Amino acid sequence: MNYDRSEQLYEKARKLIPGGVNSPVRAFRAVGRHPFFVERAKGPWLFDADGNRFLDYVCSWGPGILGHAHPKVVEAVRRVCEGGLTFGAPTAREVELAELINACVPDVEMVRLVSSGTEAVMSAVRVARGFTGREKIIKFAGNYHGHSDGLLVKAGSGLMTQSVPDSAGVPAGYAGSTLTAVYNDEESVRALMEENHGQVAAVLVEPVAANMGVVPPVAGFLEFLRRITKEYGALLIFDEVITGFRLSLGGASQFTGVHADLYTFGKIVGGGMPLAAYGGGREVMSCVAPLGAVYQAGTLSGNPVAVTAGITTLKILMDDTGIYDRIDKKARRLAEAFGDAGLTVNRAGSLLSAFFVTGQNASGRKVENYEDACRCDREAFAAYFNHMLDRGIYVAPSQFEAMFVSDAHSDELIETTCGAIEAWIGGKTNG
């Protein structure tokens, strides 16, 4: 494939934008090549500045559950733009989106709309602190909750890709009230709760971790978190920025049967526009200003264009009852292909990861936490990424990001992808 135009753009971008990109993982550093620059996208396809076409399993890192540029979403956005792009004042649409979120996730009796997942989680943590009057929070190594200061501690996603668990520039005092437990390890949570008795405001968790690759909770783990938070008077926050409206219409609480006190959403809830949300029960959310003393605000919060994209997307998901079964089936087929290729596969619904785990011991091949994920062979992952991209298939350029399946990925395209996975293994065996 020819990448001349992308190369030119990258050269220019590096002079103007740190690393040439507006979010680190996009720089493709972990896979030893330069990024392609996207010009447009439609359905399951991305088209770059050189006219190359890629079958897209990144789906904008999660929002694209319907595929790119769904005609109904695009039309609704086009129409709303005519009436103004931002008002900084309440609209009927915000009420409608709040109603839809509540219909999908009944635990969310009240919701605040914000502009990014980072903002949603940062605000939910503030609410938990304001509500409980406590300062500390427990998070899990390898879980990623956006880039607010206190949450960049043993974080997943781009920090794992760059092998830097903690960001520079975060004052020790901010990170000091963030305690880190081991995902899927009950004892590590109980020990922190005991050591910090009466000080923990919340346990913050990705109910299905998807920023150290996909790592589902082991049986009973979320139920344990629900019990122990109640026992110690802390809140349970589900960070559903990735899993919300993805695992099921009701997200992780419907998928796993475990209910949290606070939820954060992003990605799908904005239908491809910059919109995120946090919410929970009426009592907890009544802490938020102007009702209560927890302050949070934003000029573009509830932006009418983003809200319209979110409403339209959620309505499509609510009307099309078969969608979750379809994407689940497709992801299962991909998981089979990775499994046949001898890789460790983790999957939850339409989220999956193939892990290039090193070591021969079968029990050592499970990936259940940050340490397991860190043992993966990054060079082997990079070789696989490049093999797929050379065949026009774009998977996330990092071992530690999820593979997303959309409704626009036809069965035929899934089979093509399985063929490319088989060819990669074949090439390795023959080589």
Known catalytic residue: 42? no
**CB of 160: closest distance to ligand HOZ in angstroms?**
10
Nearer to ligand HOZ (CB atom), residue 63 or residue 217: 63
Nearer to ligand HOZ (CB atom), residue 206 or residue 372: 206
CB 192 within 8 A of CB 186: no
Which candidate in 3, 144, 370, 394 is catalytic? Answer: 144
Nearer to ligand HOZ (CB atom), residue 117 or residue 302: 117
**CB of 35: closest distance to ligand HOZ in angstroms?**
10
Which candidate in 48, 56, 107, 239 is catalytic? Answer: 239
- The 351-390 site mask, x for binding ligand HOZ (CB under 6 A), equals ----------------------------------------
Known catalytic residue: 263? no
Cβ neighbours of residue 308 closer than 8 Å, sequence gap 6 or more: 76, 77, 79, 80, 93, 271
Strand boundaries in 271-350, DSSP class E: 276-280, 344-348
- Listing DSSP states for 71-130 in one string gives HHHHHHHHHHHTT-S--SS--HHHHHHHHHHHHH-TT-SEEEEESSHHHHHHHHHHHHHH
User: Is 401 one of the binding residues for ligand HOZ (CB under 6 A)?
Assistant: yes
35-61 in b/e form (b: 16+ CB < 10 A) is bbbbeebbbbbbbbbbebebbbbbbeb
Q: Which stretch binds ligand HOZ (CB under 6 A): 7-15, 19-27, 46-54, 219-227?
A: 19-27
Q: Coil, strand, or helix at residue 45?
A: strand
Tally of CB atoms within 10 A around 328: 17
CB 81 within 8 A of CB 75: no
Fill in the DSSP letter of residue 196: T
Q: Coil, strand, or helix at residue 39?
A: strand
**CB of 90: closest distance to ligand HOZ in angstroms?**
29
Nearer to ligand HOZ (CB atom), residue 183 or residue 424: 183
- The 175-214 site mask, x for binding ligand HOZ (CB under 6 A), equals ------------------------------------x---
Q: Which stretch binds ligand HOZ (CB under 6 A): 21-29, 189-197, 224-232, 266-274?
A: 21-29
Q: How far apart are CA 180 and CA 177, in angstroms?
A: 10
How far from the centroid of its chain's Cα atoms is residue 56's Cα?
16
Nearer to ligand HOZ (CB atom), residue 23 or residue 410: 23
User: Is 61 one of the binding residues for ligand HOZ (CB under 6 A)?
Assistant: yes
Q: Which stretch binds ligand HOZ (CB under 6 A): 20-28, 123-131, 160-168, 420-428?
A: 20-28
> Is the bond preceding 90 in cis, omega lying within 30 degrees of 0?
no
Known catalytic residue: 267? yes
- The 211-240 site mask, x for binding ligand HOZ (CB under 6 A), equals x-----------------------------
Return the residue of 52, 123, 157, 229 that touches ligand HOZ, per CB under 6 A: 157
Return the residue of 2, 8, 23, 358 that touches ligand HOZ, per CB under 6 A: 23
Q: Which stretch binds ligand HOZ (CB under 6 A): 4-12, 22-30, 49-57, 277-285?
A: 22-30
Nearer to ligand HOZ (CB atom), residue 142 or residue 304: 142
Q: How far apart are CA 336 and CA 315, in angstroms?
A: 31
User: Is 139 one of the binding residues for ligand HOZ (CB under 6 A)?
Assistant: no
Residues binding ligand HOZ: what is the number (CB under 6 A)? 7
Sheet holding 403-404, edge to edge: 344-348, 351-355, 403-404
Which candidate in 139, 154, 267, 330 is catalytic? Answer: 267
Nearer to ligand HOZ (CB atom), residue 125 or residue 201: 125
State the virtual CA torsion across 179, 227, 264, 324 in degrees, nearest 10.
130
Q: Dihedrals φ, ψ of 91, to 5°?
A: -135, 160
Q: How far apart are CA 337 and CA 354, in angstroms?
A: 10
Nearer to ligand HOZ (CB atom), residue 211 or residue 253: 211
Map tokens 């890709």 to a residue.
161
Positions that interact with ligand HOZ (CB under 6 A): 23, 25-26, 61, 157, 211, 401
- Catalytic amino acids? 144, 239, 267
